[in-house]
């Protein structure tokens, strides 16, 4: 077995440098690598390009890295709900590239699958397609999109073992598996780190080959963005 | 009288068919789930990675690891499954999802849709809307017939940045049900209870086809 365990978040981010491209898993605040985000913030690296479906909220998630101006460019599909983000975007301090969510997911998947580029119908006829190659398949126009290249990918799983195998829970899976596949170096934080052999190999969502560093997160706040409930009668 | 949001959702629910997988957008579309006709089985897909999405949880049962694409806490029904975002958009692009219902700021008479960006305003992003409209075979738009200024949202051509081209098949507004025929324009199928054909004509800027007697919607 190849062991992937590092002691903590700080050790997992020790070689991150200014100007790198980093991926962060999660959808909204669900399944985000909270501990790695905190460690990147503490390390103080700057001019980062961050690829993440969303940009967190004020004071949580990637909002923490926006607060400290560590992010130069954000690549996302949806960035609402964040006043500091809006301020930096409108003032020109923050560069933002918005891309369709399915294209974002596939650009991650392609990176982890050895596919340099692919055609998708999403965005044809819109500003997303500007400057991109168009090709027709089955009579329908598609645009060429390229795989991402990120030095680090930070993901969060429910359980993981010493070999880096990951299991997710509920909709906290979202972008985490493809980003795990895509990172040149993938750092996984888990709620529960278990010995190799404790997870059923039939139930692994991400095989350990894609994970370079794994640690058990010290603290998970798991904040809920929109608490919607049915009142008990 | 014009329909309220629930009325629009109730009318759209009549389009659901047994055995369909359905993706509901944020806003009025979400309400469609409250009006599934009796005797049919539908599974709701949320693009953040669930099939078999259920209603909001009972107070105290909410789970941070179980949300929909609107980031609301939800539940999973028996037979539900979770998957990653690439698989989710894979099933969307491969047309496994039979119906997509979403909101819009504008729809053109050739079925173009604009619903993600207003120049000069803070842009939040398109989320999954561009992927959904580019691939779904059956797209119903739920929206008000006019904007807050009273201007028609049913236009000859969209004025706002597009989300997709030639994709909308049907529109249900507070005033009418319209088919989108790329050759002929908007075809008036039904009018909201008490709403006249004249009012719909007056509030539709795009080409509108009115053939014969236009029936009133029947809401259960």
> Is residue B140 within 8 Å of B11, Cβ to Cβ?
no
Q: Is A47 left (phi over 0), alpha (psi -120 to 50) or beta?
A: left
pLDDT at A80: 82
Tell me if B64 and A27 make a contact (CB, 8 A cut-off).
no
* Separation between Cα atoms, residue A122 and residue B140, nearest integer Å: 18
Secondary structure class of B111 (helix, strand, coil): coil
* Separation between Cα atoms, residue A49 and residue A36, nearest integer Å: 16
Task: Sort out which chain A residues have CB atoms less than 8 A from B121's CB and list them.
Answer: none
> Is residue A30 within 8 Å of A175, Cβ to Cβ?
no
Q: Which of B207, B208, B129 is nearest to B161 (CA)?
A: B129
Query: Across residues B191-207, what is the average pLDDT?
Result: 98
Q: Which of B63, B85, B164 sits opposite A174 (nearest CB)?
A: B85
Q: Is the pLDDT of residue B220 over 90?
A: no
Kindly report, residue by residue over A181-216, the tens digit of the pLDDT: 999 999 999 999 999 999 999 999 999 999 999 999
Whole-number percent of chain A with pLDDT over 70:
100
Cα-based angle A8, B85, A121 (whole degrees, multiple of 5): 140
> Is residue A222 within 8 Å of A14, Cβ to Cβ?
no
| Residue for token pair 């965005």 | A123
Cα-based angle A85, A86, A90 (whole degrees, multiple of 5): 120
Size of interface A-B (CB pairs under 8 A): 177
ipTM attached to this prediction = 0.97
- pTM across the whole model: 0.97
Residue of A nearest to B84 (CA): A174
Kindly report, residue by residue over A34-93, the tens digit of the pLDDT: 999 999 999 999 999 999 999 999 999 999 999 999 999 999 999 988 899 999 998 999
Q: Is the pLDDT of residue B121 over 90?
A: no
- Active site positions of B, annotated: 47
pLDDT at A49: 98
Query: Across residues B164-192, what is the average pLDDT?
Result: 97
Does the beta carbon of A60 lie under 8 angstroms from any beta carbon of chain B?
Answer: no
Q: Which of A171, A161, A222 is nearest to A197 (CA)?
A: A161
Q: Is the pLDDT of residue B134 over 90?
A: yes
pLDDT at A45: 98
Nearest chain B CA: its distance from A48 CA (Å)? 20
In CATH terms, A9-109+148-216 corresponds, of 3.30.70.141, 3.90.550.10, 3.40.50.970, 3.40.1080.10, to: 3.40.1080.10
Q: Is B149 exposed, middle or buried (0-12, 13-18, 19+ CB in 10 A)?
A: exposed
Residue of B nearest to A107 (CA): B86
* Separation between Cα atoms, residue A135 and residue A144, nearest integer Å: 8
Nearest chain A CA: its distance from B34 CA (Å)? 13
The tally of CA atoms less than 13 A away on the side-chain side of residue A88 is 23
Does the beta carbon of A207 lie under 8 angstroms from any beta carbon of chain B?
Answer: no
* Residue extents of the structural domains in chain A: 9-109+148-216
pLDDT at B1: 85
Sheet with strand A134-137: strands edge to edge: A117-120, A140-146, A134-137
Kindly report, residue by residue over A129-184, the tens digit of the pLDDT: 999 999 999 999 999 999 999 999 999 999 999 999 999 999 999 999 999 999 99
Tell me if B93 and A77 make a contact (CB, 8 A cut-off).
no
The alpha carbon torsion through B51, B56, B58, B62 (nearest 10 deg) reads 70
Q: What is the mean pLDDT of chain A?
A: 97
- In chain A, positions 10-39, which contact chain B (CB-CB < 8 Å)? 27-31
């Amino acid at each position: 077995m190849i062991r992937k365990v590092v002691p903590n978040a700080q050790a997992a981010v020790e070689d991150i440098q200014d100007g790198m491209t980093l991926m962060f898993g999660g959808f909204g605040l669900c399944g985000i690598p909270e501990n790695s985000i905190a460690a990147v913030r503490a390390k103080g690296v700057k001019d980062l390009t961050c690829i993440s479906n969303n940009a967190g909220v004020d004071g949580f998630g990637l909002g923490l890295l926006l607060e400290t101006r560590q992010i130069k460019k954000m690549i996302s599909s949806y960035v609402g709900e964040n006043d500091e983000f809006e301020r930096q975007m409108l003032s020109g301090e923050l560069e933002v590239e918005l891309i369709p969510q399915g294209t974002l997911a596939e650009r991650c998947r392609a990176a982890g699958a050895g596919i340099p580029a692919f055609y998708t119908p999403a965005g044809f006829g819109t500003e997303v397609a500007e400057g991109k190659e168009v090709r027709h398949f089955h009579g329908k126009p598609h645009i060429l999109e390229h795989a991402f290249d990120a030095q680090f990918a930070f993901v969060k799983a429910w359980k993981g073992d010493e070999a880096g195998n990951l299991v997710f829970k509920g909709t906290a899976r979202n972008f985490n598996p493809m980003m795990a596949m895509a990172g040149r170096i993938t750092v996984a934080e888990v709620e529960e780190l278990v010995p190799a052999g404790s997870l059923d190999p039939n139930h692994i969502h991400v095989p350990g080959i894609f994970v370079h560093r794994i640690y058990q997160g010290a603290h998970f706040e798991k904040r809920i963005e929109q608490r919607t409930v049915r009142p008990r009668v | 009288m014009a329909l309220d949001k629930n009325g629009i959702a109730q009318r759209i629910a009549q389009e659901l068919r047994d055995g369909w997988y359905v993706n509901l957008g944020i806003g009025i579309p979400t309400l469609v789930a409250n009006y599934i006709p009796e005797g049919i089985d539908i599974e709701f897909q949320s693009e953040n990675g669930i099939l078999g999405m259920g209603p909001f949880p009972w107070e105290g049962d909410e789970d941070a690891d179980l949300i929909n694409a609107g980031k609301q806490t939800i539940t999973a029904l028996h037979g539900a499954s979770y998957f990653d975002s690439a698989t989710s958009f894979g099933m969307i692009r491969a047309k496994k999802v039979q119906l997509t219902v979403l909101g819009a700021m504008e729809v053109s008479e050739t079925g173009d849709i604009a619903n993600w960006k207003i120049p000069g305003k803070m842009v939040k992003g398109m989320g999954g809307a561009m992927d959904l409209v580019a691939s779904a075979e059956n797209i119903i738009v739920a929206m008000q017939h006019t904007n807050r200024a009273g201007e028609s949202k049913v236009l000859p051509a969209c004025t706002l940045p597009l989300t997709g081209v030639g994709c909308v098949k049907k529109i249900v507004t507070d005033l009418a049900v319209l088919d989108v025929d790329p050759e002929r324009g908007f075809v008036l199928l039904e009018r909201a209870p008490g709403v006249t054909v004249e009012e719909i004509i007056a509030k539709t800027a795009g080409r509108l086809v009115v053939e014969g007697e236009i029936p009133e919607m029947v809401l259960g």
